Amino acid sequence: MVSPLVEREDIRAAVEQALEQAPERKFAESVDLAINLRDLDLSNPENRVDREILLPNGRGKDVKVGLFCSEEMATMSGDVADVIIQPEEIEALSDDPDEAKQLAEEMNFFLAEAPLMPTIGRELGTVLGPRGKMPNPINPGDDPSETIDSLRRTVRARSKEDRTFHLPAGTVNHSPEELTANIRRILRRITMDLERHEHNLDAVYVKTTMGPPSRII
């Protein structure tokens, strides 16, 4: 069942208003959503939003993906990942917290061959976990190219314990139609996870990075 919120025509109107009010910049500003939740006990992790959402029109900006893998997969994957971390490098990263934190901040997402997941959790879990950067597992021998391509068009919706959280929906280089489609996808996926669906949304705003917010609900 599609939430009535997702089909509202004022999503498009709010997007257009946000774009019209945005000051001119010499770079492609992000277009972001600010989502306020209500009537949820966010101290309970089961009530928090934590979901990866594939956008129909992509993010419009570079998305960096790191790959923990064996030498065999590294050879097969070529240049599709931004960074490749092989098994012998995991412990070295664990021994250098500053380098591990820098890597976690630079990458938007990580993938890892499934057999490496326990080692990554043990050695780097304290760095990757709190940042929501624990890798998505892939099977040994699989070609990661398609998964990496999908991640480059993906955003992470993550509320943690905060009633208000933000995530990108695209950039000003997207058309209003493309941004509206991205926002509909985001709201559909988020409300699916909430206990009372759209009734757990207190307010939703869309804005460019430096522009004023435009209210959707």
| 10-45 pLDDT tens trace | 899 999 999 999 888 778 899 999 999 999 999 999
Residue of 96, 95, 88, 90 lying closest to 71 (CA atoms):
88
Mean pLDDT computed over 50-78: 91
Model confidence at 6, pLDDT cuts 50, 70, 90, reads: low
Coil, strand or helix at 66:
strand
User: Could you tell me if 79 and 101 lie in one domain?
Assistant: yes
> What is the per-residue pLDDT for 198?
92
Last residue of a domain, one of 151, 171, 189: 151
Is the model's pLDDT at 70 over the cut of 50? yes
12/74 same-domain check: no
Q: Is the pLDDT at 1 greater than 50, yes or no?
A: no
Angle at 15 between CA 18 and CA 62, to 5 degrees: 90
Per DSSP, helices labelled H in 50-201 are 71-77, 87-94, 97-106, 117-128, 145-151, 176-193
CATH number for 178? 3.30.190.20
Question: Domains in the chain: how many in total?
Answer: 2
- CATH number of 115's domain: 3.40.50.790
**Do both 19 and 81 map to the same domain?**
no
Within this chain, do residues 96 and 141 fall inside the same structural domain, yes or no?
yes
pLDDT at site 5: 65
Going from the C-alpha of 65 to that of each of 25, 167, 169, 217, the distances in angstroms are 27, 18, 18, 33
**142 and 71 housed in the same domain:** yes
Q: Which residue type, as a one-letter code, is found at position 48?
A: R
Full domain range(s) for residue 133: 65-151
Do 101 and 205 have their domain in common?
no
Are 169 and 143 members of one domain?
A: no
| pLDDT at position 78 over 80 | no
Cβ partners under 8 Å of residue 122, min gap 6: none
